[in-house]
Amino acid sequence: GAVVSQHPSRVICKSGTSVKIECRSLDFQATTMFWYRQFPKQSLMLMATSNEGSKATYEQGVEKDKFLINHASLTLSTLTVTSAHPEDSSFYICSAPGQVYEQYFGPGTRLTVT
Amino acid sequence: QKEVEQDPGPLSVPEGAIVSLNCTYSNSAFQYFMWYRQYSRKGPELLMYTYSSGNKEDGRFTAQVDKSSKYISLFIRDSQPSDSATYLCAMSETSYDKVIFGPGTSLSVIP
């Protein structure tokens, strides 16, 4: 089946620094990818829709200047958390729709901001 | 009212029991309905998906969708300790659209 990878799987950074998370579709092309965030014991909340070749669409309440999304190719979307703070610590997961209906999810990236 | 509602549990059942998990939703435009299983600190994995109303069975799992009531269910027969996880219902309007998740139900199957 289709695979979506994420890198890194885990990252620890200091408050005020920026962190980039990559999401790759390994054996299929994805013109659209979705970024979700999951806090402990909570569900996945959609942050933004990443569109190849155009600007991302952000959900209400998500700061687009803080969470920069770049979908530079048909297999790669990146999420950059700028000036990270401890409250940004979370599990970030990307997904991409396949050819037949299924959303393929990446394994997630656990971000800890100290 | 949240777009998708789900009893968070936790739900604890003995091994071999039949488990019933449910979600309700408010958006009548949802057409695709999914159930995901998520183990701690892992990404969600797709268990079942259903288009529109009806039932779908896959091994020990049965998914039911009642669009008239805006209600979906997942049944797990002969539950196993390995089924212990968080179960998330999810839905979308089109096959390529964003997926909206329910809050998840934590399930423990006790040996």
Q: What pLDDT digit, counting tens, does each position of B70-103 carry? A: 999 999 999 999 999 999 999 999 877 788 999 9
pLDDT above 70: residue A99: no
Residue A101: band (very low, low, confident or very high) from pLDDT cuts 50, 70, 90: low
Beta bridge partners of residue A9, listed in sequence order: none
* Residue-wise pLDDT tens digits, A40-96: 878 899 999 999 988 999 999 999 999 999 998 999 999 999 999 999 999 999 999
Q: Which long-range contacts (CB under 8 A, 24 or more apart) does B93-97 make?
A: B93/B27, B93/B29, B93/B30, B93/B31, B93/B32, B94/B31, B94/B32, B95/A97, B95/A100, B95/A101, B95/B32, B96/A32, B96/A97, B97/B32
Mutate to test the interface with B, among A23, A99, A101, A102 (most CBs of B within 10 A): A101
CA dihedral B105, B109, B44, B98 (to 10 degrees): -30
**Residue among A32, A43, A95 whose CB faces B88 most closely:** A43
CA pair distance B104, A91, nearest whole angstrom: 15
Tell me the two tokens of residue B13.
């059942």
- Give CA–CA dist A98/B46, Å, rounded: 13
Shortest distance between the Cα of B11 and any Cα of chain A, in A, equals: 14
**Cβ pairs A/B, distance under 8 A:** 47
